[in-house]
Each structure stands twice: as structure tokens, then as C-alpha cells.
Amino acid sequence: MSKVLVTGGAGFLGSHLCDRLIARGDDVLCVDNFYTGSKRNIAHLLGKTSFELMRHDVCWPLYVEVDRIFNLACPASPIHYQNDPVQTTKTSVHGAINMLGLAKRVKARILQASTSEVYGDPSMHPQMESYWGNVNPIGIRSCYDEGKRCAETLFFDYHRQHHLEIKVMRIFNTYGPRMHPQDGRVVSNFVVQALRGEDLTIYGDGLQTRSFCYVDDLIEGMIRLMDSSVEFTGPVNVGNPGEFTMIELAETVIRLTGTKSKLVFEPLPQDDPKQRCPDITLAQSRLDWEPKVALEDGLKETIDYFRSIV
């Protein structure tokens, strides 16, 4: 049994991670300030003796005794992180500093949940970990993109300067049950609109592409990275290389929900990337990981979840 800290543990990804850690016998401390996380996501864990919940903002230091730290704290959807961009940057940067400081004090291994957004609007396709990215440092998405890039810098500086055991994971578009219904991301947008009988909003011409990784696959990759050999730090891409246009995704959602919704088109938001697809060669070779859940199967589970709450 390990004592594991999960920051952002009441969020979409964090709550699924807590489930997996509890299931394998770890003792979990879930920390969240509930800016985007929800107690509903972890309510089923509250009665377990191996689970503890703490309301705390990672922008402030935390003094606990743990063996491992998963740093997932940060709003991840454009609507939420653009609502308070200064706080978003603080969460990524101050949060990384505080969690790295904790890891240094207690000699814990620490994993940073980074993002494919560090690649910006990429000129390389698919994106490999060696690609440095094409990021606008002063745009409306920069609070998140540059905050995560700075967090990666801090992780590697702590690794080089203080010999900290670090893992850096670049997460590509992930979907599944417990997504926030108003997070503004494309899967949740389409599913909620379809279930309400509303037209599905596509930004731009709908030919821009994304890769969609089901949450169970993503969490498996995260745990494998944390458990990997000490010399493998990453960064490593974890996502599904299957690529779909927005129109293809929308048409699949319409078919699976049985809605009579139509497609409507709106202008593309500033700095919205036109392509996003991971090269997962490194994850395959070093973690023996690749996604298993097909998009249609994962969407069925996601639609069932949203039916229960919308």
C-alpha cells in the first residue's frame, strides 16, 4: 500500500484515478478546491477507510506525508480556464512549485498531468514529444498553454537540481463519464446539445481534427507511467491516435443519441488548433500502453452518463 496524494482529485480525470488507486489497495488523499471538481464525482468513495478528502487550493503550500503525488489540479476546459486566466496560470505555476516542494521534503515521486496544449497549433503532425510546439504566449488560451509549459520546466529543473523522481505526461483529448456538462469541450458540448434536442454547434468548417481517448485508457497510461522505471521521466504523450473531424464526431453523436439535431456553424475561436493527434510510439515502447476503447464504444458510455444528469 502506498500513501498517494491526488490534487484535482474530485475532477473528471482525478476522480477516475482515485477509483483505480483505491481498487488496487492504495491509501488516497484527494485534494480539490472544487472550482471545477465536484463532490458528486467522489461521493461513492467517502465511506471508504482508504480515502480521505481535503478542500485545499494548490496555490498554497500543503504539508502532508505521502509516498506519491499525482498533480492534476488545474481547470482544463477553455470556458473554465479563460474565466479566470490569472488564477489558471497561478494554479499551474504556483501549484507545481508547491507540489514539487512537498515532493522534495517527503522524497515522494511526483507526476505532472501536462497537456497536448503545450504543442499549441502544431506545425508537426502527429505530435512527437521532441516537438517544441507553436504556442501564442499572449493569446486567450495562453494562461493554460504557457502555465503547463512552465510547470514542465519546473519539474525538469527540480529533477536536475534536486534529483527528484518526476514523471511528465502530456494528455490528449480525453472523454468519458463525469465530464462537466458545461466545460465547453467538444464531446460534452455535442452530447448535451443532442440530448436536449438542440442543434450541434461546430466552430469553423468542421474539418479540424482531434483524437479522442476514453478515460479508462488514459488512467491506465497514467498509472503505468507513475509505476515505470525511475530513469524514465517523460514527457510522454498519452492519447488515442485515431483522428476524427468535428463533423465526423457530431454525426456519430447524432446517430448514437437518436436526436433530430442538425449541425450549425460558428466562427473558429482564436488560437484553436486545426490538428491535434499524438504520436504514441514512446508510450507503446516504454509503458507497453496503447488505447483499447473504440470511439463509438466510449461515446455510448459517455452518452449514458449525460442522460443520467442532463
Cis peptide before 235 (omega within 30 of 0): yes
Nearest to 39 by CA among 178, 177, 175, 174: 178
The 8-class DSSP code of residue 134 comes to B
Find the catalytic residue in 35, 81, 119, 144. Answer: 144
Residue 198 near residue 209, CB atoms below 8 Å:
no
Q: How far apart are CA 79 and CA 184, in angstroms?
A: 6
Q: How far apart are CA 122 and CA 88, in angstroms?
A: 22
Q: Is 144 a catalytic residue?
A: yes
Residue 269 near residue 204, CB atoms below 8 Å:
no
Please report how many Cα atoms fall inside a 13 Å half-sphere around the Cα of residue 76, on the Cβ side: 25
List, as one string, the DSSP characters of 181-231. Answer: TTS--HHHHHHHHHHTTPPEEEETTS--EEE-EEHHHHHHHHHHHHTS-TT
Q: How far apart are CA 62 and CA 159, in angstroms?
A: 20
Can you read off the three cell numbers belonging to residue 310? 442532463
Cis peptide before 126 (omega within 30 of 0): yes
Buried b (16+ CB within 10 A) or exposed e, 161-193: eeebbbbbbbbbbbbbbbbbeebebbbbbbbbb
Nearest to 310 by CA among 182, 192, 197, 199: 192
**Catalytic residue numbers?**
144
